[in-house]
Amino acid sequence: MVLNRVLNLFRRSATTNTSDTEGLQATVIPRSEHGISRQQLSPSALKVMYRLNKQGFEAYLVGGGVRDLLLGQQPKDFDIVTNARPEQVKKLFHNCRLIGRRFRLAHIMFGREIIEVATMRGHHDDSKSNQVSKLDDAGMIVRDNVYGTIEEDAERRDFTINAIYYSIADYSLLDFANGIDAINNRRIEIIGDPVERYREDPVRMIRAVRFATKLDMTIEPRTADPIHDLAHLLGSIPAARLFDEICKLLLAGKAEENFQMLREFGLLEALFPDLVTFLDSDATEADEAFILAALRNTDERVNNDQSVTPAFIYAAMLWPLVEFNARELATESELGPSEAFQIAASEVLDRQQKRTAVPKRFSLVSRDIWSLQLRLPNRQGKRAEKLSTHPKIRAAFDFLLLRGEVYGGELKPLAEWWQQYLTSTGDKRASLIKEVAGSGSAGKRPGSRRRRRRTSPNKPKKDAES
C-alpha cells in the first residue's frame, strides 16, 4: 500500500506535534514516493487547479479527497485550497458563485459537479484590520473570513488526516500534522488543543464520530476525552446546520454505528433531547429495537444503492416517542386516540425542529407516514383501494413492515396482508377484501382499545321507567 512506502520517509522527517501547532512545518513527499495519480482526480478539479496555478496562485487538493485516495477509496468530491481571494477566484471562472457568510467559499459548477474552492485560512488576529473575523463569548467562531498562508491553513484544519495537501505544481504531498501516520494507524487526532478547537466549532465533535465510523478508525484518547463534557456546546449551533450533519451521519451507510457512538459520547442528547429522555426513562426494549432496526434497514439500503430519505429515518426515530405521548395525552384528556395522536405528532416535531431544522419537504412526509399507520388497518369497502393510491403508501408500508417485525402482534399479519394487496390486482384484491370483511377486524387498529365513553358526574341518570 502507498502509505507503507512513505511511512519510513515520514518518520524520518516529521517534526510536528499535533498538541502544539506552533510553527507547523510540512513533510514533503515527492511524486515518486506516493501513489496518487492525476488520473484518479476529477477532470474539473484538475482544470480549476491548473488555471489557478497558471495565473500565479498556489492551488492544492486538500481534505477528504487526499485522505480517501491514500486509503484506496474514490472520493465523492474534491475540495481545493488556494491563496487567491474569493473575488479573485470568481474573476477567473464565469461558472463560479460565492457562498457563505461565516466563511466565504467559491463554488465552481461543471454541470452537476461542484468544485469547492476555499482561500487559505489564517489566525484570528485583531491587527489584521482588513479581514473580518469574530468569536462569541464561548470562543466559537461565528465569522471566519481571515486569510493566511498554507502553514496557517494547516493549523486551522480540524483533524490530522485532513491536513494533507496535494500540490498541482509538482504533484507532491505536503503533510503538516503527521496525517499519514494517523491514517496508517487508523487514528482520529485533532490538531491543537482539543477543548479550544471544539469550542471554536462544536460540530467537530460530530465530525470526529462520523470519520471514525466511516473510515473504520479509533478516536484517540486526547481527542475523545473532552467530548462528553463539551457536548452541550452543540446547543449554540444553528438548527439548519445540525440537520445537514444528521443527514451525513444517518444516510451514509453507518447510521446504526453512528447512533450508538453519538449516544456513548453524550452527543445524541444535544441532537435529539426528547428522544434521549424517552429512551432513558419510558421506552421499552421493543421501542429501542425498532429505532435500531430502522437504522440498520437504512444502512442496508445505502449499501445496496437503494434510495433513502431523511423523512423515513426521522419518522422511525421519533415514532416510539410520538406513540407514547399520544397514549399519555389520550389517557389524561377527553381526546380520542386519533386526535391525541395528531397533537402528539405535532408537538414532537415542533420540539425537534428547534434542534435540527427538518425542511418541510421531509417533515410533511414523516407526518404522512405516521398518519397512514392509523389508516392502514381500515381496509373494508373501497378504503384499501383508496389508500393504495396514496403517494406515500410504499414508505408507509415499509414502515408498517418494520413495525410488524419488531413489535409483532397484530401488526405482522396486517403487514403481510398489505404486502399481498399491493403486489396483486383485480380478483385477488377483491378476495383479500372479502377475507378482511369476514374476519370482522377491518376497522380495528392493531393494539388499540375502544375507549369507554365517560359520563359527567353531574348529569342525572335517566329514569328507568322513562
Please name the residue that has the C-alpha cell 434521549. Answer: 276
Measured CA angle at 272 (ends 267, 276), to 5 deg:
85
Tell me phi and psi for residue 29, to 5 degrees. -115, 110
Per the annotation, the verdict on 79 as an active-site residue is yes
Q: Which of 9, 368, 403 is nearest to 181 (CA)?
A: 9
Catalytic residue among 77, 193, 274, 398: 77
Q: Which of 68, 153, 158, 287 is catalytic?
A: 158
How many Å apart are CA 297 and CA 373, to the nearest integer? 19
Alpha helices in 55-173 (DSSP H): 64-70, 86-92, 150-156
The half-sphere exposure of 409 on its side-chain side, counting CA atoms within 13 A, is 10
Angle subtended by helix axes 393-407 and 360-375, to nearest 10: 60
CA–CA dist 235, 355 (Å, integer): 8
* 276 CB-side CA count, 13 A: 16
* Cα separation, 227 vs 198, whole angstroms: 8
Q: Please identify which of the residues 79, 153, 299, 368 carries the catalytic annotation.
A: 79
Q: What is the DSSP letter of 461?
A: P
Query: Would you say how long the chain is, in residues?
Result: 466
Q: Are 449 and 407 in contact (CB under 8 A)?
A: no
Rg (the chain; Cα; Å): 28
User: 381: which DSSP letter?
Assistant: T
| Residue 172 grid coordinates | 507532491
Kindly state the DSSP code that residue 265 receives in the 8-state scheme.
Answer: T
Q: Which residues, 6 or more positions from 115, have their beta carbon under 8 angstroms from its beta carbon?
A: 42, 44, 45, 48, 77, 78, 79, 80, 107, 108
8-state DSSP, 121 = B
- Report the distance separating Cα 286 and Cα 264, nearest Å: 20
| Sign of the torsion formed by the C-alpha atoms of 357, 361, 365 and 371 | positive
144 flagged as catalytic = no
Is 299 catalytic? The answer is no
Degrees (nearest 5) of the Cα angle 99, 205, 254? 90
Work out whether strand 187-188 and strand 218-219 pair parallel, antiparallel, or are unpaired.
parallel
Is-contact 195 223, C-beta < 8 A?
no
Q: Which residues are identified as catalytic? A: 77, 79, 158
